[in-house]
Amino acid sequence: MNMRSDEKPIVRYRNIRKSYGDLEVIKGIDLDIFPAEKIAVIGPSGSGKTTLGRMLMTLEEPSSGTIEVDGELLWHKKVNGKLVRADEKHLHKIRGKIGMVFQHFNLFPHMTILRNVTEAPVRVKGMSRKEAEKIGMEMLDKVGLIDKKDNYPSQLSGGQKQRVAIARALVMDPKVMVFDEVTSALDPELVGEVLNVIKEIAREGKMAMMLITHEMDFAREVADRVIFTADGRIVEEGPPEQIFEHPKSERLQNFLSRFMAKV
């Protein structure tokens, strides 16, 4: 399933490392994500999986290595054949192809729900407000929150907030979207509604998705490929059946058995 050598990857991590001071959290990762592919990234906390997503969203700069998005370097530019650090203008250009949903939603508290969803298309894509509102309403409809459009985020439940955050990211029509532990901050009874929305989006298909998650059943159901990271490296990867039913490495076996025991 991940043998798609004929197709060009939409995201390509090459020998990516990341350190904070003396602490190296990513120790050399290579990873390709193909258009419309859904990958789930699992692993113990501190394994660097969130950092992987944040580097793609340009929230954290890799210490070394390169990331390509849609055939173009993300954090670097080629000037006279040499790699130099990208400026904000370059980042701005590439960033348009990437979207992200955060663990803590990060909705804008001073804007109504509709405004949250339409602000970026108006400001960044230069859409008219009318046009943006049309698309915004479509997306709010998709996540089932059209009746909340005039509310403020503080009036919504956590699950509703996260659904708005998903709509807000979708409106920008990214080619790849990072879902960073989007259910970890939710009360257990609200997890389902958010996962259902993501499954629905995944079924539509056209967007690549990077699902950083602790929800194993969800990863298994949605992902085309599962990446298991531990200690800053990719320890094992493969289709969900293989990863969950026939884990090869001892590390993954331990992780899964501990995880199942907890549930």
Residue closer to another protein, measured from CB, 48 or 121: 121
**And the tokens for 75?**
């954090």
Encoded tokens for 35: 């258009």
Residue 141's closest CA among 200, 202, 208? Answer: 200
Binding residues vs another protein (CB under 8 A):
57-59, 88, 92, 95-96, 98-100, 102, 104, 106-110, 119-120, 123-124, 152-155, 165, 168-169, 172
CB of 55 to another protein, least distance (A): 13
Beta bridge partners of 82: 79
Q: Is 147 exposed, middle or buried (CB count within 10 Å of its CB: 0-12, 13-18, 19+)?
A: exposed
Strands (E) in the chain, as ranges, are 11-20, 23-33, 38-42, 64-69, 72-73, 76-79, 82-85, 98-101, 176-180, 208-212, 225-230, 233-238
Residue closer to another protein by CB (options 123, 199) is 123
CA angle (232, 236, 242) in 5-degree steps: 150
Least spacing, CB of residue 182 vs another protein, in Å? 13
Residue 88 burial (C-beta neighbours within 10 Å; 0-12, 13-18, 19+): exposed
Length of the chain: 263
Under a CB-based contact definition with an 8 Å cutoff, are residues 220 and 242 in contact? no
> Between 115 and 251, whose beta carbon lies closer to another protein?
115
Q: Which residue, 27 or 92, has its beta carbon nearer to another protein? A: 92
Q: In Å, what is the CA distance from 232 to each residue of 43, 45, 63?
A: 10, 11, 13
- Give min distance, CB of 153 to another protein, in A: 6
- Cβ proximity to another protein: between 18 and 95 the closer is 95
* Closer to another protein by Cβ: residue 184 or 242: 184
Taking the complex as a whole, the smallest distance from the CB of residue 124 to another protein amounts, in Å, to: 5
* Nearest distance, CB of residue 70 and another protein, angstroms: 15
> Which CB, 26 or 170, lies closer to another protein?
170
CB of 172 to another protein, least distance (A): 6
Tell me how far, at minimum, the Cβ of 131 lies from another protein, in Å.
17
